[in-house]
Amino acid sequence: MPAAIALDSRAPMPHPWAPANVAADRAVPSLQAGGRAFLGLPAGRSNVDKQWLSPVIRSLLDKHDRVLVLIESELISYERCANLRSTEPILRPTAVSELITVDTMERWHELDVIRHALPPRMLPRVQIASWTHFIDHSFATLWRHLLTAFAVSSSFRQDVLAMGRDAMQGADGAAEQAARTACLCHVEALAMRLRVAEIAAYHNEYGPLPEDVLSARLYAGDYTGDGLTVESLVGHPARRRYHQL
């Protein structure tokens, strides 16, 4: 696989509140042995709220020299872009784009309050980024490889479909469509996880839930028989570690 291409640091970023170099950032000598970490922030009003995040971020700063919080609002598009329960038009990208913008800014505001409650010396060590900041050539390449694996790798495809079927519960007659969109969501999320952890070198990922099946099995080498490994995707041995909070 070709070497990853970093974002041009001169290119305008979609939101002025994100560090300009957050996506193009490369590995640097760590200030602490723990290196750099990231935490995904789900869209909407999940259990991952300000009250939960504040002590978590402080705890991670005790272990790592830099902490990135990745806002995952873009994934709303898989759930909300397809209107599966009415006679209205099935696709509604404009309305969903507005929902994503609103959710992103609400989540950012929560994070900004947490960040500015920290001692001034800690502020530069906490980064906030949206999904868009990491959508570049490297991400697109990873996504294409994983979509191809979804099409041709029986073991990987089986796991993706199993995760998609979980989304069928409570789908109100639109189970098949809900499962399809959930499958695509899981594949994109894995591509982003590799982009942030392996390419941008935030090697420590944290989350409130157990590691998802696709990531766990990929990092365990369970898809090696089909040629799908972390090293084949990113060009170097796997470095990411997942920690459940």
pLDDT digits (tens, 9 = 90+) for 170-181: 555 566 777 888
If we measure between CA atoms, which residue out of 19, 78, 18 comes closest to residue 43?
Answer: 78
Answer yes or no: is 30 within a domain: no
Under the banding of pLDDT at 50, 70 and 90, the label for residue 2 is: very low
If we measure between CA atoms, which residue out of 187, 188, 183, 146 comes closest to residue 161?
Answer: 183
pLDDT of res. 170: 53
Q: Considering only 10-14, 47-51, 100-104, 223-227, which range has the smallest mean pLDDT? A: 10-14
Answer yes or no: is 9 within a domain: no
Terminal-to-terminal C-alpha distance of the chain: 33
Answer yes or no: is 120 within a domain: yes
CA distance 192 to 72: 10
Q: Assign residue 231 the CATH number of its domain.
A: 3.40.50.11710
Answer yes or no: is 18 within a domain: no
Answer yes or no: is 29 within a domain: no
The answer to whether residue 56 scores a pLDDT higher than 90 is yes
Angle at CA of residue 215, ends 233 and 52, nearest 5°? 130
- 69's enclosing H/E stretch is strand 66-71
Of the segments 98-102, 104-108, 232-236, which one has the largest average pLDDT value?
232-236
What does pTM read for this prediction? 0.82
Answer yes or no: is 104 within a domain: yes
Boundaries of domain holding 174: 36-244
**Per residue in 172-198, is it b (16+ CB within 10 Å) or e — as a string?**
eeebebbbbbbbebbbbbbbbbbbbbb
Answer yes or no: is 2 within a domain: no
The answer to whether residue 233 scores a pLDDT higher than 60 is yes
Average pLDDT value for residue range 223-232: 96
CA distance 43 to 76: 7
Q: Looking at the 3D structure of the chain, how many domains does it have?
A: 1
Answer yes or no: is 106 within a domain: yes
